Chain A
Amino acid sequence: MKSCQEITYLASNIADRPMTTGEKIELHWHLMICKHCRKFYQNNQKLSIILQEQNKESTLTATQAIHQPQGG
């Protein structure tokens, strides 16, 4: 059975690292029963969303700045 340390490693790289079926089952089973690892996993997803939204916003601001040159 994997430890919390190993589970957070799998959870951190869920988007990039190919997982075996065994790893997937173990990860999701662990997340169901362990609230600390579950929070870690959910926080990562939230942070990811927050940063992507922020990126979109700042791209938008930058685009607006280009189309509305200051001074004029």
Chain B
Amino acid sequence: MKELSDFLGEQTLNHLNTQLTAFAYAQLGSQSAAQDAVQDSLLAAVQSLEKFKGHSAFKSWVFAILKHKIADVLRTRHKEASLYVEEDITELVFDEAGHWQAGFVPSVLEPQVATENEAFWQVLELCLQNLSALQGRVFLMKEYIGLDGDEICRILSLTKQNYYVLMHRAKLQLQVCLTRHWFEGEI
């Protein structure tokens, strides 16, 4: 980045870096992802540094590169979400023959006790938070908000097949979590 601070001056570079990072953070929602995208964009921009005479032209150029980077990151995320690169709970819960593994079998949930118990809600909330973002959304849209499967698929651009897989995993994940933290008190 030496070339760059020579070209822009230390202060302008720092200021630009802050602006770029704030912009990327707003789109990506993660500080480390934002910093990575900014770093990549600056490195790419430096390669054509000699083409730019003024700072402002250079800034627009970096922003343009950053926008492409962000779009790439978001596109990859979307693809990952729809391909379920997220952890596959079924591999933990079931053995190769598809039988329940010891330690993952569900316990009996007593709703009367549960609904009146503040502690149960805290555990349930924790377990819902532990779901992947997409699983959590799908599960709550269905079970809490009460939307039907077709509607959820339309809103989240999922295929029916994706939706079934997400619901299956979300429910397994929740029950494993509830069994661990509620029934065995391992909070």
Seen from chain A, the residues whose Cβ lies within 8 Å of a Cβ on chain B are 2-6, 8-9, 12-13, 15-17, 36-37, 39-40, 42-44, 46-55
Contact = CB atoms under 8 A, between A and B. Distances in A.
Given A42-B108, A46-B111, A4 B99 contact: yes
Contact of A49 (B90, B93, B111, B168): B111
B164 A55 contact: no
Interface of B: 90, 93-94, 97-100, 105-109, 111, 114-115, 121, 124, 140, 142-146, 148-149, 160, 163-165, 167-168, 171-172, 174-175, 178
A43 B106 contact: yes
A17 B160 contact: yes
Contacts of A46: 109, 111, 114
Contact of A16 (B90, B111, B115, B148): B148
A64 B174 CA distance: 31
Nearest to B168: A12
